[in-house]
Amino acid sequence: MKSIVTLGAAALLAFTTACGNTADGVAKDAENAADKSAEASTEAGSAMAGAKQTADVKTALSVDTRVDASGINVETNGETKTVTLNGTVPTEAQKMLAAEIAQPKAEGYTIVNNLTVKAP
């Protein structure tokens, strides 16, 4: 009888320890999931802000008749707060003007002007 009680106590102790380990594991998993969720939320926020900047700059360039924006591509990186102008324009003056048009539409962002001059 004493061995049955000892065996029962050992089983109870093992079960309790296993439950404790499982509870700790669940808590750690929940913490990791919360961290990943916050990270994803931050990345999504950066992407959405970047998308807005891209749209605002593209719109400003396309409606300004001083610049031929048909060859301009706008890329935005919300994490680095950078708007990059890629592509071609017909003149050096339009290259400089494109950056000037983009800057007020991308407040708080750095404009990287990678445009090249290529006569039409």
Report which of residues 51 and 1 the model is more confident about.
Answer: 51
Put simply, whether the predicted model's pTM sits higher than 0.75 gets the answer no
Cα Rg of the chain, angstroms = 29
pLDDT tens digits for range 49-107: 678 999 999 999 999 999 999 999 999 999 999 999 999 999 999 999 999 999 999 99
Structure confidence at residue 33 as a pLDDT band (50, 70, 90): low
